[in-house]
Amino acid sequence: MILIIDDDSAVRSSLTFMLKRAGYETESVSSPKEAIEVVRFLELDILLMDMNFSLSTTGEEGLTLLKQVKLFRPGVPVILITAWGSIQLAVQGMKAGAFDFITKPWNNHILLQRIETALALTNTPDETPDKQPGTFRRGNIIGKSPNLTEVLNTIARIAPTNASVLITGESGTGKELIAEAIHAK
């Protein structure tokens, strides 16, 4: 089930129509309050969520809702959709746990691809590369910390897909090595 969260009824109708034609079950709500009720009680596969629910265009309402959603459903991917997109807002959303960030107006084909990628990644078993010999080349990545293991697990899940990946971090933390590992797969 895909939950659509947007205060614009035309957007909800358009997304519902497109997703039902693509064979997905949908539910839609118009406010953060309704969204939390649905998130708490329905089994969901993915959320498509607007970032603004009032006259404000900062995206703060969406970021707050995203954090609340992640408390109840940490494993459910959330794709943020907004007409007021910026790189800064996209980075904030990704740091808060969003799977992807798309600006309105969206391209139906691209949105469906992103949904399929999110669903495929959440249905991929979360196994460490050490448990699957030969399926992942670490290259020059050295270490065994829990944080690094989590990064390597993410690489192993993402590398075989066509997903866009944003790699952030301080200078000298190995972002280039991570990118090379993703592309080497």
| pLDDT on residue 133 | 39
What burial class does residue 97 get, using C-beta atoms within 10 Å of its C-beta: 0-12 exposed, 13-18 middle, 19+ buried?
A: middle
The domain defined by 2-122 carries CATH number 3.40.640.10: no
Distance between CA 27 and CA 141 in Å, rounded? 43
| pLDDT on residue 56 | 67
| pLDDT on residue 150 | 79
Distance between CA 64 and CA 130 in Å, rounded? 37
Q: Which of 108, 82, 99 is closest to 24 using CA atoms?
A: 108
| pLDDT on residue 156 | 78
Q: Which of 185, 126, 114 is closest to 151 using CA atoms?
A: 126
| pLDDT on residue 104 | 86
Q: Across the strands, what pairs with 105?
A: none
- Residue extents of the structural domains in the chain: 2-122, 129-184
Give every residue of the chain whose pLDDT is below 50, as ranges: 126-136
